[in-house]
Amino acid sequence: MAETTPRNGFSRAAERLGERVYVMVQDLGAIFTLFLQFLSWVARPPSEIRNIIKQMEEVGVRSLPVVLVTATFTGMVLALQSYSGFQRFQATSFVGSVVALSITRELGPVFAGLMVSGRVGAAMAAELGTMKVTEQIDALITLATNPVKYLVVPRVVAATLVLPVLVVFADLVGILGGYFVSVYLLGSNPYVYVAKTYQYLEFKDIYTGLIKASVFGMLIALISCHHGFVAAGGAEGVGRATTRAVVASSMMVLISDYFMTSFMF
Amino acid sequence: MIGIRGLSKRFGKKVVLDGLDLTVPKGKNTVVIGGSGTGKSVLIKCVVGLLRSEGGEILIDGEDLTKMDERELVRVRRKFGMLFQGSALFDSLDVGDNVAFALRRLKLYPERQIRDVVEEKLSMVGLRDIQRLMPAELSGGMKKRVGLARAIASEPDIMLYDEPTTGLDPIMADVINDLIISLRESLGVTSITITHDMASAYKIADFIAMLYKGKIVEVGTPAEIRGSANPVVRQFVEGRAQGPITAENEEFLRFVRRSGGAEGKEEGR
């Protein structure tokens, strides 16, 4: 008995791991298929412009407050931390550059992406999941409407277009947050701070951040729609789909961020 | 006319439909009865192409639906209207937009006429002045009627009713029964209804078909079904707890208990 238990435990763990990997690969395949379907429907008439605008409001306007708060505090904490680091070798005048570069290249897009994953990803998965388990998706099909066209296209288009806009705001308030902490709390010279912010910031830093944001938006919407579509088993199933959507899209934001950064360096 | 020949459908290892044959005559209401979880919903979802079958054919006016690609299916589906068990109204849209949904998607009427057309469809199911209400504000019976109005809005040739009276009080159930009959009489639609409500089945059916173990075991007029000699049909229509249907079920339960598996989770429908 004592001999067999650990082996059983190990093989069960291996089995569970294998199952997880299998499900993950299956999900990735399904999400890619959904992406292909999205491409085939996005340009076909009738245009879903009204739905797209509605989703843009949902993804953009409604997420703006949370993205602004996150970005402000990120800029502020960044100023504090880099000040304490640079102070050790008398380079505190570079705080402005570090804040600006970190926010535009990395933290603005990533934090906006994570916030939107949580807020919008959950909402999309819950809404589509509820539609699935209450047969509303079947009803769409019987009413001559393709669910990918009617539900996925507007969400993916809206998220792809709106996330970069959110990130522009995030970049602005992040840099401002850093400025206020540096100038009013840490006593940096405001002119030097602004000059250093501009000195090393290139246009490329900003637009690569915005491209990332666009990709994040698309991934979040695709992943969340997928998890909504495959929801099954009533309210509990919808809850599960929502959790999965948030976890998967947050992870994908971070994973894709690494690869995009390594390509666009 | 709808002709179903040798239809099979399985989920994983579970065979739900096993070579099912059924002919649904034009302009008549055929009611499919059977216990919960016997695959009645699966049957009509196959008929409208929401589920793809593994074998057999489904002929809609001579065209085989099982051989069609998605594009052809979209065209054939326009002949169908479907009333869902839980009504499946879109809860982000108000009643008027729900009923107008297919009319707008298919651009069947100019926008300025839509409200009037919708009001007319709603009056056919005995509702008026509720276009601005949201589905969440409606009672179960009203939802069913709005769902019915939405299904008939694009004037389908074939109606599919998924348990139309389930979850309604007896009076509202009878209102729905009367609506189904009057739609058949006024619009001449061919329809398939699935139900386990025998009172409703006897009232609305031209023909009743009993689904059992993935096959249609008997088809007949309501009177014929009422007098059926088949023990399975008799047990079901008489609603007895003892009989061939449950005998097998109990054997299954004993088997599950013996093998210690608590995974006897039943498929939703």
Reported as a single tens digit per residue, the pLDDT across B250-261 is: 666 676 666 654
Distance in angstroms (rounded) separating the CA atoms of residues B157 and A156: 36
Are the beta carbons of B102 and A138 separated by less than 8 Å?
A: no
Closest CB to A145: pick one of B49, B86, B105: B105
pLDDT above 60 (res A6): no
Query: pLDDT at residue A194 above 90?
Result: no
- Whether residues A144 and B45 touch (CB distance < 8 A) is answered with no
Strand partners, B209: B32, B219
Longest C-alpha distance within chain B, in Å?
Answer: 66
Nearest to A138 among B74, B88, B154 (CB): B88
> Taking residues A113-140, what's their average pLDDT?
92
Q: What is the pLDDT of residue B99?
A: 92
Residues of chain A with Cβ-Cβ distance to B85 below 8 Å are 135
A7-47 pLDDT, tens digit per residue, is: 677 888 888 888 888 888 888 888 898 898 888 888 887 77
pLDDT score recorded for residue B266:
44
Where does the pLDDT of residue B226 fall: very low under 50, low under 70, confident under 90, or very high at 90 and above? Answer: confident
Q: Given an 8 Å threshold on Cβ–Cβ distance, is A144 in contact with B82?
A: no
Q: Taking CA atoms, what residue in B is nearest to A232?
A: B268
Q: At what angle do helices A190-200 and A153-180 cross, to 10 degrees?
A: 140
Per-residue pLDDT reduced to its tens digit, B38-85: 888 888 888 888 888 888 888 888 888 888 888 888 888 888 899 998
Judge whether B100 and B135 are in contact, CB under 8 Å.
no
Cβ-defined contact of B105 to A146 (cutoff 8 Å): no
How large a percentage of chain B has pLDDT more than 90? Answer: 8
**Chain A residues in contact with B154 (beta carbon < 8 A):** 143-144
pLDDT digits (tens, 9 = 90+) for A78-104: 988 988 888 888 877 788 888 888 999
Is A109 or B167 the better-scoring residue by pLDDT? A109
Chain B, window 77-106: residues with a beta carbon less than 8 angstroms from a chain A beta carbon: 77-78, 80-82, 84-86, 88-92, 101-102, 105-106
A143 to chain B: closest CA residue: B102
Which residues of chain A approach chain B closer than 8 Å at the C-beta?
46, 127, 130-131, 134-136, 138-146, 233
Residue A69 has pLDDT above 90, yes or no: yes
Angle between helix A4-42 and helix A153-180 axes, rounded to 10 deg:
100
Closest alpha carbon within chain A to B50: A138
What is d(CA B15, CA B236) in angstroms, rounded to the nearest whole number?
A: 21
Tell me how far apart the alpha carbons of residues B13 and B21 are, in angstroms, rounded to a whole number: 21
CB contact under 8 A, A143 and B102: yes
Crossing angle for the helix pair A108-116 and A234-264, to the nearest 10 degrees: 170
Task: Give the gap in angstroms from C-alpha A116 to the nearest C-alpha of chain B.
Answer: 21
What pLDDT band is residue B269 in, cutting at 50, 70 and 90?
very low
Inter-chain touch A46–B50, beta carbons under 8 Å: no
**Residue B41, Cα to own-chain centre: how many angstroms?**
7
* Helix residue ranges, H only, B59-110: 70-77, 95-99, 101-105
Torsion-angle region of A144 (φ positive above 0: left; ψ -120 to 50: alpha; else: beta)? left
Give the pLDDT confidence score for residue A223 in this predicted structure: 94
Contact status of B166 with chain A (Cβ, < 8 Å): no
> How do the domains of chain B map onto residue ranges?
2-229
Could you give the percent of chain B with pLDDT greater than 70? Answer: 92
Instruction: Check CB contact under 8 Å for B88 and A144.
Output: no
Pairing status of strand B190-195 against strand B2-11: unpaired
Say what the pLDDT of residue A48 is: 81
Contact residues, chain A, for B49 at CB < 8 Å: 141
Q: Which of A130, A144, A233 sits opposite B105 (nearest CB)?
A: A144
B91 interaction partners in chain A (CB closer than 8 Å): 130, 136
Q: How confident is the model at residue A74 (pLDDT cuts 50, 70, 90)?
A: very high
- In Å, how far is B15's CA from the nearest CA of chain A? 20
User: H helices then E strands: how many in chain A?
Assistant: 12, 0
pLDDT of residue B267: 43
- Distance between CA atoms of residues A252 and B8, nearest Å: 40
User: Do the bridges between strand B14-24 and strand B2-11 make them parallel or antiparallel, or are there none, so unpaired?
Assistant: antiparallel
- The whole-chain average pLDDT of chain B stands at 84
Closest partner residue to A134 (CB to CB) among B78, B86, B102 is B86
Question: Of all helices (H) and strands (E), which one includes residue B126?
Answer: none
Give chain A positions within 8 Å (CB) of B268.
Answer: 233
Residues of chain A found within 8 Å of residue B89, distances taken between Cβ atoms: 136, 139
Which residue from A127, A141, A144 is facing B50, i.e. has the nearest CB? A141
Asked if B82 lies within 8 A of A142 by C-beta distance, the reply is yes
According to the model, what pLDDT value does residue B264 have?
42
- Whether B88 sits inside 8 A of A135 (CB atoms) is yes
Q: What are phi and psi of A43, to 5 degrees?
A: -95, -5
Mutate to test the interface with B, among A143, A150, A153 (most CBs of B within 10 A): A143
Whether residue B199 contacts residue B167, with contact meaning beta carbons closer than 8 Å, is answered with no
Residue B219 scores a pLDDT above 50: yes
Q: Tell me whether residues B84 and A143 touch, CB distance under 8 A.
A: no
Q: What is the pLDDT of residue B250?
A: 67
CATH number for the B2-229 domain, one of 3.40.50.300, 3.30.70.100, 3.20.20.70, 3.40.50.720? 3.40.50.300
* Cβ contact, residue pair A142, B101, below 8 Å: no
Residue A66 reports pLDDT greater than 70: yes
pLDDT above 60: residue B268? no
Question: Which tokens in the block code for residue B230?
Answer: 């088949």
The answer to whether A239 and A233 are in contact (CB under 8 A) is no
